[in-house]
Structures are given as C-alpha cells and as structure tokens.
Amino acid sequence: MADFTKMTVGICGLGLIGGSMAKAYRAAGHTVLGFDKNDATLGYAALAQITDGVLNGDTLPSCDLLLIALYPEQAVRYLEEIAPLVASKTVVIDLCGTKKKICERGFALAKEYGFTFVGGHPMAGTQYSGIKYAKATLFKNAPMVLVPPVYDDMAFLDRIRQLLAPAGFGKFSVTTAEAHDERIAFTSQLAHVVSNAYVKSPSAKEHKGFSAGSYKDMTRVAWLNEQMWTELFLENKEPLLFELDQIIHSLSEYRSAIEAEDADTLRSLLRDGRLAKEQIDG
C-alpha cells in the first residue's frame, strides 16, 4: 500500500508544467527529484528549492511517482531509455498534449518491465513557457484527463487520483488515447491555430484603442511555443485537419452571405451559432 503522505516524486522536464508540478508536490511535503536537459533550468530549480535533488539513473528507482513533462517525441525516447531502471512500485504518468503515441509505447514498456504507466493531460497552462512562470497553484481546480491501461478498476483509478492529489485538480476524466486526441483537436489545437492566424491580419498592428475583451479572448493563445505546437499539430494531423475543414467550411458560408448581402442567411448563420453555444454551455 502506497504512503501518499510522503512520496518521492521524479519529474523529467522542468518547464511550465513540470516546474509547476514540482512546486505543488514540494509544497505538499513530498521529496521532488528533477531533471531537465537545460543545465541552467536544472540549476535554477535547485537554487530556488523547487527540487530536492537530481533525477538520474541512481535516484530513479526510488520514485513512487514519475511525471514526464516533455514534448511527445522526447517523452517516448526518454521512457524507452529509462524503462529498464523503473521500479515495479513506480507509477509513470506522462503529461503530453497528445496521447496516442506515448500511450501505445508506455503501455508496452510498462508490461515489459513491470511498472505502471498512465497517460495524463493536465488541462491548464498559460501563454508563457519556462520554469520562471511555474507556480504551485497552476493546476488548482483544473481538469485532468487520464488514459489508464484499464477502465473498470475503480481502486486503481482512485490510487492514481491520490497520487495526483497534491496538484489540486478539480475534475478527472477517463478516456482512450484516440478519443482524447480527437477531442483535443477541437478544444485546444484548433483554437491555437485560429488565434495564431487571426493576429496575422495587417489590421492587428492598428488595434490599440479599438479592442477590448473580444480581441483579448481571441488572441491569448496566439502567443505560443511554436516548437511544441508544431509537434503536437503534426502528431495529431488527422483529427486537426477534420476540425480545420469544419471551420473553413463554416467561415466560407459567412463570407458568401456577407459578400451577397444576404441578410436572411447571415442572420440564420449567426442564430445557429448562438444556439449552438447555448446548447453546449447550458
């Protein structure tokens, strides 16, 4: 039986997500071991007392929980490298923005080497990246999506929730890797593409004094990490292309109605959108 009151937690990747996890677990009294390929980040984490020690081949077997906060391809490579060193008691949870590839590999490696792997995606963040923006409360009341190896073991899922309790998540959703990636294409990835494209208008340079909440809402996630999002978009190519096709089709309908000065069609399109929003959000 795991002792959830005092754990050793390893965190690979000390950016915004991994750094915030480190702060949350350390604030809850747990021992945090960290690793980052950037020596400056790793040194800062130690100096700022965000971590208690370094996560490496010697300390890895002591971990009760291992969180992997890397880009998907890096996460797969890291897991392949360290899998033989992971203790059977360790629960490994990745925090990647897509789930299919990392879960396929993670479940296979866990079965081969005898540890537990669970896919995870914390639905929280900011437009900024890096450990200097990390905060212990980043995940407080935020949703957490889990992709477990089994879906009907309530005791197992409760154990995962307890392991993640220090982060302060407000709600857990359990799904498959495929369903996660399809949904995230709409709820997150499409929003980032649209926002990023929206600010490319030449009018954006002249917006000051003429913008309020609508502009801020539409452009917040345009300020993104292009390296990470390029990888996420390409890994989730088909679901994202589906969502892009849907919005391009809808936008073409609005454009055609406006160009033709077809008030009835335009009014109907706007009404349909308003009703869809009311139905979705209640």
pLDDT tens-digit series, residues 91-114 = 999 999 999 999 999 999 999 999
Q: How many CB atoms lie within 10 A of CB 187?
A: 10
> Given this chain, do its domains 8-175 and 180-281 carry the same CATH topology?
no
Percent of the chain at pLDDT > 90 equals: 85
List of E strands, 46-190: 53-54, 65-68, 91-94, 116-122, 143-147, 171-174
Token duo for residue 87: 């203790």
pLDDT at position 71: 92
Three-state DSSP state, 241: helix
pLDDT at 1 over 50: no
CATH architecture observed for domain 180-281: Orthogonal Bundle (1.10)
CATH architecture observed for domain 8-175: 3-Layer(aba) Sandwich (3.40)
pLDDT tens-digit series, residues 55-76 = 999 999 999 999 999 999 999 9
Q: Where are the domains of the chain?
A: 8-175, 180-281
Token duo for residue 198: 């929206």
